[in-house]
């Protein structure tokens, strides 16, 4: 039986307020465009890395410029450190893309409308129990991962940064970590909604009483 069957229609003002959630739809569509831009940037950087590997001068110059810190020395050749920095940049793009997916899918499911993906073979595991609290914790965890990548890139190029810059970047990363721990702790202290238990699946009986 449909959940909406027998539901009393809302009065005009509550209905208007409830329907205002659809104003968020253009925001999520805009994030999908941003996701497409990140995909384009990823393939651009991967293309330049591949062409630089085969000796293309323009791509090699692009790669070396991309890993050069402002005010720091420019690498003279694509050594292991340069390759590591480029790959970390690609991982950074992927992690930000994952963050966008969590915001788009989780935010739409939580604040706009249900997607009714229950039972879908491609439903993300985390989406089956997503709510505002779970989404905040997952976003905080994703931000820590992105911050870790940036901090690692900084330490690899430590000679190009001042001690003050290294100190402040480390403090910011620790702040992100403590914030995520605080969000998770507050989430555990808040009363949890009752879990919905799924009915046990019935197996069809085979001939001869076998199951």
Distance CA 156, CA 176 (A): 21
CB-based contacts of 206, cutoff 8 Å, min separation 6: none
Q: Evaluate whether residue 63 is within a structural domain.
A: yes
What is the dihedral sign for C-alpha 113, 120, 194, 103? Answer: negative
pLDDT at 171 exceeding the cut of 90: yes
Note if the pTM is more than 0.75. no
**Span 112-128, average pLDDT:** 76
pLDDT at 206 exceeding the cut of 50: no
Per the model's pLDDT, the better-predicted residue between 173 and 204 turns out to be 173
- pLDDT tens for residues 4-48? 555 677 788 888 888 898 999 999 999 999 999 999 999 999 999
Structural domain containing residue 59: 23-116+126-191
Q: Evaluate whether residue 17 is within a structural domain.
A: no
pLDDT at residue 5, as a whole number: 55
Average pLDDT taken over every residue of the chain: 81
Q: Evaluate whether residue 121 is within a structural domain.
A: no
pLDDT at 186 exceeding the cut of 70: yes
CB-based contacts of 90, cutoff 8 Å, min separation 6: 42, 45, 46, 49
Strand runs (DSSP E) across the chain, as ranges?
none
Distance CA 115, CA 103 (A): 14
Q: Evaluate whether residue 16 is within a structural domain.
A: no
Q: Evaluate whether residue 6 is within a structural domain.
A: no
Model confidence band, residue 63 (pLDDT cutoffs 50, 70, 90): confident
Model confidence band, residue 198 (pLDDT cutoffs 50, 70, 90): very low
Q: Evaluate whether residue 104 is within a structural domain.
A: yes
Count of domains forming the chain: 1
Whether the CB-CB separation of 183 and 171 falls below 8 Å is answered with no
Q: What H or E segment, with its residue span, contains residue 65?
A: helix 57-66
Q: Evaluate whether residue 9 is within a structural domain.
A: no
Residues belonging to the chain:
211
Q: Evaluate whether residue 3 is within a structural domain.
A: no
């Amino acid at each position: 039986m449909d959940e909406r069957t027998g539901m009393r229609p809302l009065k005009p003002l509550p209905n208007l307020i409830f329907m205002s959630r659809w104003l968020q739809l253009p925001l999520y569509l805009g994030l999908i465009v941003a996701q497409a831009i990140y995909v384009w940037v990823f393939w651009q950087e991967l293309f330049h890395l591949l062409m630089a590997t085969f000796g293309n001068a323009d791509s090699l110059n692009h790669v070396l410029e991309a890993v050069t810190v402002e005010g720091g020395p420019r690498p003279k050749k694509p050594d292991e450190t340069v390759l590591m920095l480029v790959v970390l940049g690609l991982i950074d793009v992927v992690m930000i893309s994952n963050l966008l997916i969590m915001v788009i899918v989780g935010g739409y499911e939580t604040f706009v409308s249900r997607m009714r993906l229950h039972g879908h073979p491609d439903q993300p595991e985390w989406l089956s129990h997503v709510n505002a609290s779970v989404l905040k914790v997952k976003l905080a965890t994703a931000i820590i991962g992105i911050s870790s990548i940036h901090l690692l890139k900084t330490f690899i190029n430590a000679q190009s940064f001042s001690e003050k810059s290294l100190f402040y970047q480390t403090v910011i990363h620790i702040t992100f970590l403590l914030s995520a721990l605080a969000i998770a702790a507050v989430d555990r202290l808040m009363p949890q909604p009752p879990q919905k238990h799924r009915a046990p699946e019935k197996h069809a009986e085979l001939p001869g009483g076998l199951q």
